[in-house]
Amino acid sequence: MAVNAEPGLCVVDAEGSMLRVNGAFSRLHGRSEAELTGRPVAVLLEGGDGLFSSGYADLLRGALGDRAELRFPYPGEPGRSVVASASVMSGMSGGRFTVSTVTVVDERAPITAVSGFIGVAPGFAVLATAADGVVGSDRRGLIDSFDAGAGRIFGYRAEEVMGANVTVLMPEAHAAQHDRYMAEARDRAWPAAGERRRKLFGRRKDGTSFPLLLLVRERQAPEPEGFVAVLFHDGDHEMNRPSLEQTSARLHDALGALQEGFLLCDARDRIVLANARMRTMFPGIADLIVPGRPFADLVRACAERGLYASHGQAPGLQRAREIEGWIAERQDRHQRRPNRFEMDISGGRRIEVRELDAAEGAGLTIYEDITERHGREQKLREREAELSAAQRIAQLGGWRYDHRTRLVFWSDEMFRLFGVEPEAFRLSPATIFACIHPEDREQVRRLLTARGRRTSVQEGEFRIIRSSGEERVLWVESQRECDEDGVEIGRFGVCQDITARKLDQQALIQAKEAAERANQSKSQFLANMSHELRTPLNAIIGFSEMMASEVLGVMGNARYREYAEAIFSSGRHLLDLINEVLDLAKIEAGHFELSDEWLVVNDAFEDAVRLVGPRAAEKGTVIARSASIAPHLRADRRAVRQMLLNLLSNAVKFTPAGGRITLGAHWDSAGLRLEVVDTGCGIPADRIAGLAQPFVQVDTAMNRRHTGTGIGLYLTRSLVELHGGRLTIKSRQGANTGTTVTLHFPSERLRFSP
């Protein structure tokens, strides 16, 4: 068959208007491309020389069926005919188009039907719906894609309009109509074809207007939500429109630049078109990737040459059977288009295969090397498994709620926390709130609707009731999810089971309350016992003092007087101890009340030295004082005397013969400091912190060298703290190193006499 080197090609839309023609088609009809593009096919029959009949227009409109062919004698050239064929196809954006070829053939040569665009012009299926430009927008109408074709139409660069409202491309009147159109589009269901057709005016950057045809489609997942408009520059032929040949060349360049392998086969499953990436992706069969080669040959060659990782390992007959089985399976899948799957090939690579139906029974196969992506996904799955395990160990689950879709997402651990199975539990706010304890639902609702900064975290705890009736306590943390305008679009956060922690806290509280009750009972017991002991002790002390003083006469034996003095001394010592215990019990029970008055510090020093001085003199220890002009102190007189006596008694007890004890007073803006400094043996550094605790002494029970109960310092610390002050101890261990104990009183308790 002799075919013209350049067949005439024409694309007609569903309304019978010519969207595209090439130079060969226009020359065959004696009109320019500009005269034909955008005109109804009926103009081809006007003023002609009778070359075509009226059926020709029906053919071009697709009215003669999905695939049709007409032949007409070529005037003045016997033996030659004009063959016109047409194929009706669905466009890539959902529209309906008729693709026609018009070719002059030599009837004397063997005739093979010239039918369909694939055999004549490879890749024209993609060009059939090529438009002048494409503009995409989100649901608010903000432009998020703007191709080069749209730039040529409107005169803008993409960066000048990205993020602007699409109404910037329309005259003011059409912009207002578009806002209403978008609002209606969001409320109404889209047609089955997924596309709406609109005619309106566009506005260029220079302010001029022009007619425009739009095919608007709603974007679906995995595309971003929004709309895409395919633009046809309607009737503005002065534009420098690229020719079909230029567009075809650009198409082949684009296919060559694709990172995916591209393979187009005709209805007989023979290769029509393949890009260079196919050959680099499958170098082992590159010699077979040529037009006309059956697809089955590629499948067999891949298996026999060991291109697929699962083949070529088994020996002999087993390998042959394996190959044949794989070929049959691959061919069966290839015929059941559309489909999508992954396969491993030699070299440790993984390929994703997408097979689609094209017009006239043709098939399109796209191969993408996803080795790196598969590796990342595998690592991601491993990380997700590790995260899931960590969440399970920590009993920590993640969740998210989308306000727009009203969908709830839960991690696996969330289902375990609520004690439900993912397959049987329908995730929705209603079903989730049904699991929350009725008394806590309002609290959870307030927490999940609380406003605040975008990054602020709302937190709280609530109870759930599992289907088994078991009650658990969960801790929840929630954060707002906002769009770029700060509008809240969802919430996300975590939940953790804190039931065991709450039980432990409850047990600790109960134990603390029990200890406090026991301590209160102890203090009450000590107070009662102290009162019971003081009464007989006062009698013992009084009568022994009378006997030692021989008030009623001389005792017959001098030894009796010594005994009476011993009884008196022991009774006084025991009474001092009981008084300390009684004061301690009052303080711990909160019953000790201060009787504040203004005291002269020197008088308090003299009072304490008068009582302790004899004991110090017996040991040969000197007590010195230094507080000549100390301010007056507002305090409880008995408590101050008790504190000084306790500190001086300890100093005398631990200072060897010949040592020195100094009573000093220092003051500044922070307050008054009363110091007792001795030259005793000192205190180990690791024992100082515990000295002011009840019943604690420097020496252990095994080597104790001094008498006492160990409550003197604790009582002193408690008394000074009742005055708003504090007690400090500084000491070093060693011979004559000494210890300094300081009572700190706040400045508000001081007064300077005129």
Share of the chain above pLDDT 90, in %: 11
Rounded Cα distance between 275 and 256, Å, is: 5
Highest mean pLDDT among 170-179, 391-400, 423-432: 423-432
Residues across the chain? 754
Nearest-10 Cα torsion for 542, 544, 550, 553 = 90
Q: Does residue 40 have a cis peptide bond before it, meaning omega lies within 30 degrees of 0?
A: no
- Mean pLDDT on 352-376: 83
- Mean pLDDT on 549-559: 75
Rounded Cα distance between 218 and 283, Å, is: 40
Least confident among 93-97, 202-206, 598-602, 683-687: 93-97
Task: Tell me which DSSP letter residue 65 carries.
Answer: -
Domains in the chain, please, with CATH?
Answer: 8-127 (3.30.450.20), 133-240 (3.30.450.20), 258-369 (3.30.450.20), 404-496 (3.30.450.20), 504-589 (1.10.287), 596-751 (3.30.565.10)
Rounded Cα distance between 262 and 273, Å, is: 8
Determine the pLDDT at residue 724.
93
Q: Find out whether 149 and 135 touch, Cβ atoms under 8 Å.
A: no
Residue 113 binned pLDDT confidence (cut-offs 50, 70, 90): very low
Q: Does residue 75 have a cis peptide bond before it, meaning omega lies within 30 degrees of 0?
A: no
Residue 743 has pLDDT above 90, yes or no: yes
pLDDT digits (tens, 9 = 90+) for 611-625: 888 888 888 888 888
pLDDT digits (tens, 9 = 90+) for 393-418: 667 888 889 888 888 889 888 898 89
Rounded Cα distance between 262 and 256, Å, is: 9
Determine the pLDDT at residue 85.
81
203 φ/ψ angles, rounded to the nearest 5 degrees: -125, 125
Q: Which two tokens stand for residue 147?
A: 């191709």
Q: Mean pLDDT score of the chain, rounded to an integer?
A: 77
Determine the pLDDT at residue 627.
60
Least confident among 17-21, 160-164, 241-245, 737-741: 241-245
Determine the pLDDT at residue 225.
79
Q: Is 508 exposed, middle or buried (0-12, 13-18, 19+ CB in 10 A)?
A: exposed
Least confident among 324-333, 418-427, 686-695: 686-695
Pick the closest to residue 713 from 644, 652, 656, 660 (CA basis). Answer: 644
Residue 128 binned pLDDT confidence (cut-offs 50, 70, 90): very low
Question: 316-335 and 295-304 helices cross at what angle (nearest 10)?
Answer: 150
pLDDT digits (tens, 9 = 90+) for 59-109: 888 888 777 788 877 766 677 778 888 877 654 344 567 778 787 776 555
Rounded Cα distance between 272 and 291, Å, is: 5
Rounded Cα distance between 142 and 485, Å, is: 13
Long-range contact pairs involving 113-117 (C-beta distance under 8 Å, separation at least 24) = 113/69, 113/85, 114/1, 114/3, 114/7, 114/69, 114/83, 114/85, 115/67, 115/69, 115/85, 115/87, 116/67, 116/85, 116/87, 116/266, 116/267, 116/359, 116/360, 117/9, 117/87, 117/359, 117/360
Long-range contact pairs involving 186-194 (C-beta distance under 8 Å, separation at least 24) = 186/139, 190/218, 193/94, 193/95, 194/93, 194/94, 194/218, 194/220
Residue 315 has pLDDT above 90, yes or no: no
User: Which is it for strands 632-636 and 18-21: parallel, antiparallel or unpaired?
Assistant: unpaired
> CA 48 → CA 51, 247, 586, 693, distances in Å?
7, 29, 125, 120
Q: Find out whether 58 and 64 touch, Cβ atoms under 8 Å.
A: yes
Determine the pLDDT at residue 226.
80
Q: Find out whether 456 and 479 touch, Cβ atoms under 8 Å.
A: yes
Least confident among 205-209, 264-268, 433-437, 554-558: 554-558
Share of the chain above pLDDT 70, in %: 77
User: Which is it for strands 271-274 and 363-369: parallel, antiparallel or unpaired?
Assistant: unpaired
Determine the pLDDT at residue 227.
82
Q: Which two tokens stand for residue 398?
A: 């993640």
